[in-house]
Structure 1
């Protein structure tokens, strides 16, 4: 199972359009990018591949990185930076199965799967498949399940992908605060590779109108505002889950330039064989 990080940035990416901050300038100097979030998982046994989230940067990601077009896709939630790349399915695919949860969100009164059907009803090449949270299913020869996480006000899900033949496991937290339910933590545990939302360092929480949440014993916030983990929260979660390897993703340009490209913060194009 080969995992390629096509997009490792938050909703604006790094460099951010029109931004001349030190971090965006440093990214330009290094020639690296953090485009909007997407992960490609290739099953070497079957030759099939799976795309987790459909970034609005879909076109440039697949032109830039040496990965095949997916045979199926997953959508973790309905925010545009994770969904709106689905429009690229037009004329690119003969058929693209898209997997999402059928759980109805009380805020939108619609499930993730239902939103995709409504928003992309003109894409006759897309077939949407509903799944219950935590229920395993098979796609591209891999065992997959959506696990509920905490990204208020919308329902959002992490993902567990396992190779039934080799036992290789990749866990993605999805967009989430540190307040991931215990049942989901149990599903995410012991991955060969953990991709964890670590949008900013904990020091940035003092500049958020809501500050931070889920403080550790030293008062360090593991959640930035209410929706995303801090770097410190993501690393604490990685230790709790006993991850063999951890990469922080969904990263904002609000990291100080001297910290923004240090380990274990990911950049686009990284690939891992599990």
Structure 2
């Protein structure tokens, strides 16, 4: 299984016009963070988790030419706004693109992209095959995917486990029951927004504590804001088996 980090930032973590913070001024490519998303290649399947506003740019950068499924973690715009750009995959693959999401996310997509779901189809619009998921395992191709429900302030959000890889973004708290699904992962990806307390995201220290509790072979932090600081400075604060992810990072599992 190959995992590519398409984006590791937030809407508060991407380059901002006129911003003079050290992240925006940094010349380190690892500090150029687009909105959070990952691409997984496993067997014959090409799966993307979340399509934020930077989706098209990320796809072009990584030269992704096949999309077998788009899976959403939750309905916030920094994770869904780029769904319109799957139309290119419709054109290349000559078929609907399966979109996996929980009921409330599907309802949001239908409001935000009403033209896609209209009974009157305008030529060239994206074509999707909506598949509702719940907090039970589902299969894409030959691959089982296990949802992990976390809490983002008061909003339920799905993380996902695929074999020995677990991906969680936009989490503040995780119940003991859901943590059991994470245990035994070799690679864990979790969000770490900033160092200061935040109502809906784990802080750096909270993410480190969860990483130690889950005890994966390697943990990567994603969904980073400007307030976290530069990659170079932040990585010095981390235990040996924890790293900061960056856009374009590829790992084999």
Indicate the TM-score class for this superposition, using the shorter chain for normalisation.
0.7 to 0.9
What are the Cα deviations for residues 137-187 of structure 1, in whole angstroms up to 9, with x where unaligned?
Answer: 10032111222111123221211122xxxxxx211122011x211111111
Distance 2:129 2:214 in 1: 34
Distance 2:48 2:38 in 1: 6
- For residue 120 of structure 2, what is the aligned residue in structure 1? none
- For residue 3 of structure 1, what is the aligned residue in structure 2? 3
- For residue 17 of structure 1, what is the aligned residue in structure 2? 17
- Please state how far the C-alpha of 1:59 moved relative to its aligned partner: 0.9
- For residue 85 of structure 1, what is the aligned residue in structure 2? 82
- For residue 219 of structure 1, what is the aligned residue in structure 2? none
- Alignment partner for residue 265 of structure 1, among 229, 244, 248? 244
How many residues end up aligned between the 2 structures?
233
What are the Cα deviations for residues 18-69 of structure 1, in whole angstroms up to 9, with x where unaligned?
Answer: 312112211xx123321001100001x32x2110111210111011124443
Distance 1:174 1:83 in 2: 14
- Please state how far the C-alpha of 1:83 moved relative to its aligned partner: 0.7
**Could you tell me whether the CA contact under 8 Å between 2:101 and 2:133 is conserved in 1?**
yes
User: Structure 1 pair 40/91, CA: closer, same or farther in 2 (3 Å)?
Assistant: closer
Question: Is 2:111 the counterpart of 1:112?
Answer: no
**In angstroms, what is the RMSD of aligned CA positions?**
1.8
- For residue 132 of structure 2, what is the aligned residue in structure 1? 130
Q: Map of 1:190-269 to 2, 5 A cutoff?
A: 190-201=184-195, 205=196, 224-257=197-230, 259-260=233-234, 264-269=243-248
> Which segments of 5 or more consecutive residues in structure 2 lack a partner in the other structure?
117-125
Question: Is 2:43 the counterpart of 1:41?
Answer: no
Distance 1:17 1:181 in 2: 39
- Please state how far the C-alpha of 1:90 moved relative to its aligned partner: 2.8
- Please state how far the C-alpha of 1:244 moved relative to its aligned partner: 1.2
TM-score by length of 1: 0.79
- Alignment partner for residue 174 of structure 1, among 161, 169, 177? 169
**Could you tell me whether the CA contact under 8 Å between 1:191 and 1:244 is conserved in 2?**
yes
Q: What's the secondary structure of 1:149's corresponding residue?
A: strand
